Amino acid sequence: MGVRGVLWVPYGRLWRSHCGFGGGSRVGLGVQGGHLGALWLSHQWGGRILGGSSCPRGGHEGLVLLLHFGSAYCGGALLGPEWVLSAAHCEASNIQVLAGAHSLASPSGQEEFSVAVATVVHPGFSDSSYAHDLMLLRLEPPLSSSSSIQPFVLPEAPVGSPRLLLPPETFPDTVQCVNITVVDDTECGSIYGSKVTEDMMCAGATTGGKDSCQGDSGGPLICDGVLQGIVSWGDHPCGQPGKPGVYTRVYNYLPWILETMGEA
């Protein structure tokens, strides 16, 4: 089992789409059809590309990067001006947050930095099994609301079995998109056994070659703008056939998330 956030790396990627919870228009960053998607962050240095292309601007305004002494190492999902949700195994001292970034090569001028002044790791987190792999960061100063910075919406229902957009495993200047599939819970359990709990979900490509990887941890899985998962762990090496990535299922943690933000 490989943790998805151990390298000190600079940037990340995105995914997004339609969930399949009924009718409505399809959205999907230049990808046709009813594709689910999400936003991935912090790429591994290296030459491997797991398929994908640059995404147009928009649709990833809730993406943030977690920085440690100026180096990006994990991703996160913006829940409000003062709150970011990420993976618990991304906990570190002196976390800075970069929001509003689409291209490192061509900054828009709307990027903002903030600092995590409080870190709340889920009390049930296990660094051996990655159970309850979530943490909340409280930011100071609060981030602005702009066309480049907007929080993701929390889910009112669990995600079904739609498809995703996943970025490539390389180091691009801009957010990247590529298709992957949300794996049925039963199939996910048959692959990883008891390591996968009801609080986790799997997504990947049956044929391999499309996956999250080291440095992607904490990035959000979104569906029609709704936050459904947080990148957690997976098999090593990344992108193996029949070995999808594993994500923390955000819906199952709504009471803890809302209570924690409300008590701060």
Pairing of strands 135-140, 53-54: unpaired
- Residue 179: is its pLDDT beyond 70? no
pLDDT recorded at residue 213: 52
Mean pLDDT of 69-81: 88
CA distances 195 to 10, 147, 159, 201, 240, Å, are 30, 40, 20, 11, 18
Name residues whose C-beta falls within 8 Å of residue 83's C-beta, 6 or more positions apart in sequence. Answer: 136, 137, 138, 139, 151, 261
Q: Which carries the bigger pLDDT value, residue 5 or residue 177? A: 177
CB 203 within 8 A of CB 181: yes
Instruction: Dig out the tokens for 134 from the structure.
Output: 């979530």
In whole angstroms, what is the distance from residue 225 CA to residue 229 CA?
12
Q: Which carries the bigger pLDDT value, residue 186 or residue 243? A: 186
Question: What amino acid positions are annotated as catalytic residues?
Answer: 89, 133, 217
Q: Cis omega (within 30 of 0) on the bond before 141?
A: yes
**Global pTM?**
0.77
Tens-place pLDDT, residues 94-153 = 999 999 877 666 677 778 999 999 999 999 999 999 999 999 999 999 999 988 899 998
Tens-place pLDDT, residues 140-170 = 999 999 888 999 989 988 775 433 433 333 4
Tens-place pLDDT, residues 183-240 = 888 988 999 999 999 999 887 766 655 545 554 688 887 776 688 889 898 766 565 6
Of all residues in the chain, what percent are helix, strand and coil, respectively (each to 5)?
10, 35, 55
Topology (CATH) of 2-263: Thrombin, subunit H (2.40.10)
pLDDT recorded at residue 96: 94
Q: Which long-range contacts (CB under 8 A, 24 or more apart) does 255-261 make?
A: 256/122, 256/134, 257/79, 257/85, 257/134, 257/136, 257/154, 258/154, 260/120, 260/136, 261/79, 261/80, 261/83, 261/136
**Can you give the residue ranges of every domain in the chain?**
2-263
